[in-house]
A and B are shown apart, each in its own frame.
Chain A
Amino acid sequence: MKTLFLDAPYAGTVELCKETFNYLKQKNYQTVALYASVQFVNQLEKVRKQLEEAHIEVITSQARRTHVETQLLGCDNDKEALNLSQEQWQHIDAFLYIGDGRFHPLALVFAQKDLDDEEKEEGKERINKKEILCNDPMTQQLKIMGEVEVKSILNKYRASLMKFIAAERVGVLVTIKPGQQQLRASFAIEEKFPEKKFYYFIDNVLSFDQLENFPFIETWVNTACPRIGFDDQEKFVHVVINLRDAVYLKQ
């Protein structure tokens, strides 16, 4: 079966609103990392020109799963996925996201999760958390995910990681959707945590209402869309973490 993907580009003008512009000036930001969702990513000329005229340097990258530079996907939500160098991370004052809603820019929050671990590594220079400026071209509004909010979101997830460490019986959730089939990858956690018992659950689409039927599970490990581990925490009676974070967990 043939499949065609159509971007559905935004039909209006893509530019920075006055509020965003004023905020950048007020904070005296010199360098921003620019990202956009696919509906806006091919129409950023005006935004780039506005930033250039304000003498604000633009850094961007092609994130791991994307085909276009500057595009942001919700699932490219770890530090390496953004493909920014350590020097670029140091250099950035803030992230600037062009698009609507919170789903995509939250990936830029979760991408900063690994900075906490790096702080503990010897010889590694500390990188401060970055706020995310969300410029919505449709409403011409700026919404800010500030440093306090970024830290608060990441602390909640860190608490889930702690509960996973303490758990003895872990349920691994696997779905059959393309791009989310991580059954083989999920076996890696057995080697890393030989003291835990892992039970594997497979589904077409993750059925949250079925989770309570398995009360012996103390913690869930999500291998489907990595946003489930972050965005759907409240749908789990017991905590959920993402497979990647279980595999890379530093105890």
Chain B
Amino acid sequence: MPLYNPELEKAIIEIRQSNAKLVCIQLPDGMKPMAKEIEETLRKETGARILIWLGSNFGACDIPLGLKEMGVDFLISWGHNRFHRREEGW
């Protein structure tokens, strides 16, 4: 049994509802070995092409930049939730 629940059912519903065709998935290091299973499940269930983010995933502040320019229409980031941004930065 995996240590963390990847909540794939939520991801599938959201991809279908948004009709996304090119999806980037971003995983924290501890979940990167699950990328195969996640990629294959999301591809099969939604038909969307899945890009696996190779780089870091330190927090919700660390999402990949420039994806929109590559035509990515949906980013799914695991292991973090939204955070409150602060104007002064700290």
Contact = CB atoms under 8 A, between A and B. Distances in A.
Interface of A: 1-12, 38-39, 64-68, 71, 73-75, 78, 81, 138, 176-182, 185-186, 204-205, 223, 225-226, 242-244
Nearest to B67: A1
Q: What class of interface size applies to chain B in its complex with A? A: 35 or more
Contacts of B75: 1-4
Contact of B90 (A12, A68, A74, A244): A244
Interface of B: 1-7, 10-11, 14, 18, 20, 28, 31, 56, 58-63, 65, 67-68, 72-90
B2 to A, nearest CB: 6
Nearest to A100: B30
- Per DSSP, are chain B's interface residues mostly helix, strand or loop, or mixed? loop
Contact of B60 (A2, A179, A205): A179
Indicate the member of A3, A4, A225 with the most B CB atoms within 10 Å: A4
24 contacts: A1-B67, A1-B73, A2-B18, A2-B20, A2-B73, A2-B74, A3-B77, A7-B79, A7-B80, A8-B4, A10-B4, A10-B5, A11-B1, A11-B3, A39-B4, A66-B81, A71-B81, A75-B61, A138-B3, A177-B61, A178-B85, A180-B61, A185-B87, A225-B61
Given A65-B84, A176-B65, A5 B60 contact: yes
A75 B65 contact: no
